[in-house]
Structure 1
Amino acid sequence: MATARRIAPIFPVRDLDAALAFYQRLGFSVRPYSGGGYGFASRDGLELHLGVVPADERRSGAAYLFVDDSDAMAAAWRASGVEVHTPQDTEWGQHEGAVVDPDGNVIRFGSPMRGETES
């Protein structure tokens, strides 16, 4: 049986340069694909792909980012000037927040609530 090794969500964007700048503000290393219309954002061994899609074909995407401290992540992203939905405790034991990029793509991020263990 084949083993999956990693996953990279692909977020549709209308302006690649703006999207790369946004993810760079979040602490990702970014780079455009040399062929144009596509880019990459990497951080802590994670990767997002950003692809330019015509407005009439665009839909937003979403990804969940497991972090060790969602409050610290929210504070760092807020300090970079990004609007952050403040982490809240959930009934499923995660302390979750979210950011929405300029194209409507959502990164929800969470860490175990205090006293909870990660599953």
Structure 2
Amino acid sequence: MLRDNATAYADPATPTGCMIVLAAPVCVPEASPVAEALARMRAGVRETIRARVVRGFEEGGVRADADAAAIAAFYGTVLNGLSVQSRDGAPAAELHSAVDGALASWGTLATPRTPVPTPPA
């Protein structure tokens, strides 16, 4: 998801970033319904990520004690940040470097831990 979005955000054939992230984050009171709708969409993205992490619990790819909501908040924030960086002119390579950092965190946040063997008595 992060790599696909980084690539799309930096595609010179399309506008940079993501309209859901960049449109109306700060607006006049008359536009508050638009801002609220976009906030709901961003929350929906975080919920989709959270639901996928929960599915990972069931499939065994995510450790049972991982915090699905915290993981979703983290990766949702990274996703939003990629959009902002893209709008500011960051090239695809820079966006993918940020994704590399976020993916490096996956092991700490979610990967099932390998049990530490107990030494013989």
TM-score, reference length from structure 2: 0.26
In proportion to residue count, which structure has more helix?
Answer: 2
Tell me which of the two structures has the higher relative contact order, counting C-alpha pairs closer than 8 angstroms and 6 or more residues apart. 2
The structure having more radius of gyration, on CA atoms, is: 2
- TM-score, with normalisation over the residues of structure 1? 0.26
Q: Which has the higher strand share?
A: 1
